[in-house]
Amino acid sequence: MRCEFLNRQSLITTSVVTLAFAISFLPSVKPAKADSPQAGGYLTKNNVCYRPDSNDSSMRDACQLDLYYPSEQKNFATVVWFHGGGLTGGKRSIPNALKNKGIAIATVDYRLSPKVKVTDCIDDAAASVAWVFDHIEEYGGSRNRIFVSGHSAGGYLTSMVGFDRSWLAKHDIDANSIAGLIPYSGHTITHFTARKELGLKDTTPLIDQLAPLFFVRDDAPATLLITGDRELEMLGRYEENAYFWRMLRVAGHSNVELFELDGYNHGQMAEPAHPLLLRFIQQQPTRK
């Protein structure tokens, strides 16, 4: 397997069993309950509403997360994880490859199109990240070691929340407080669901205020961009990320990497990407 690293460092080879792309559908949302014990000294707090102050019961029901965290560690890193599904489907779940790795995972559900606009999806994503910033220390985690990641639509949400500082600013959080961004095969142009809202075709590119590329800046958090094989990926997804990487470098961003996972299509690329995420977290210095 070829793993292409565009800032001219050494190529990395990863051997991982191919996992077909699947979106798991969990049971309907239930009220939050006491933390449940997991293997390896972990606990899970399920069905946490991260928008409890909303007067909209449907928003409260949709805006839930599960927090999986090590119960016997302190100051651990946390990954906020957004599922894929084109912003129109999917349910939260914790990637098995990220379990029992000394980190916490906050896996997030958010409202979906066409019931809401893409801007509402991004707003929910930002609200969930803000919840983690506001509460992770209650569970033993470090507020200075919060990473954001997700696959496909989740990768797009990752980049929008991390690069457009206005979304988190609504919650009094500076996006630059994020320790790192790891979008998996996410759009860097305007998401196709947002383009559909405008009546545009999938093959019509757009870069506006719903595109991470619109917010290229040199002071953004450390960023790891990962895609599948350019010949197997969804329409132009590798090339979008390659251009995003290049423009961030041109702008002066010094901590951005791009990996192309040879032989893996859009759905399959998530599994071999997880070890890269874990290594990236280990490499980042703890913020003060």
CATH number of the domain that residue 213 is part of? 3.40.50.1820
Model pLDDT, residue 35 = 79
Distance CA 264, CA 248 (A): 25
Report yes or no on 249 lying in a domain.
yes
Q: Please name the residues in contact with 53: beta carbons below 8 A apart, sequence gap of 6 or more.
A: none
Q: Which residue has the tokens 């041109």?
A: 250
Distance CA 133, CA 141 (A): 10
Report yes or no on 25 lying in a domain.
no
Q: Which residue has the tokens 């927090």?
A: 67
Report yes or no on 288 lying in a domain.
no
pTM of the model: 0.88
**Pick from 80, 79, 62: nearest CA to 26:** 62
Two tokens at 63?
């805006």
Identify residue 149 by its one-letter amino acid code: S
Model pLDDT, residue 33 = 53
**Pick from 25, 42, 127: nearest CA to 83:** 25
Model pLDDT, residue 40 = 72
Per-residue pLDDT of the chain (288 residues; tens, 9 = 90+): 444 444 433 333 333 333 333 333 333 344 445 577 776 799 999 999 999 999 999 999 999 999 999 999 999 999 999 999 999 999 999 999 999 999 999 999 999 999 999 999 999 999 999 999 999 999 999 999 999 999 999 999 999 999 999 999 999 999 999 999 999 999 999 999 999 999 999 899 999 999 999 999 999 999 999 999 999 999 999 999 999 999 999 999 999 999 999 999 999 999 999 999 999 999 998 766
Report yes or no on 24 lying in a domain.
no
Number of C-beta neighbours around residue 30 at 10 A: 11
Contact 269, 277 (CB under 8 A): no
Report yes or no on 231 lying in a domain.
yes
Report yes or no on 113 lying in a domain.
yes
Domain tally, the chain: 1
Report yes or no on 23 lying in a domain.
no
Q: Tell me which residue range forms the domain holding 150.
A: 3-13+35-283
Report yes or no on 20 lying in a domain.
no
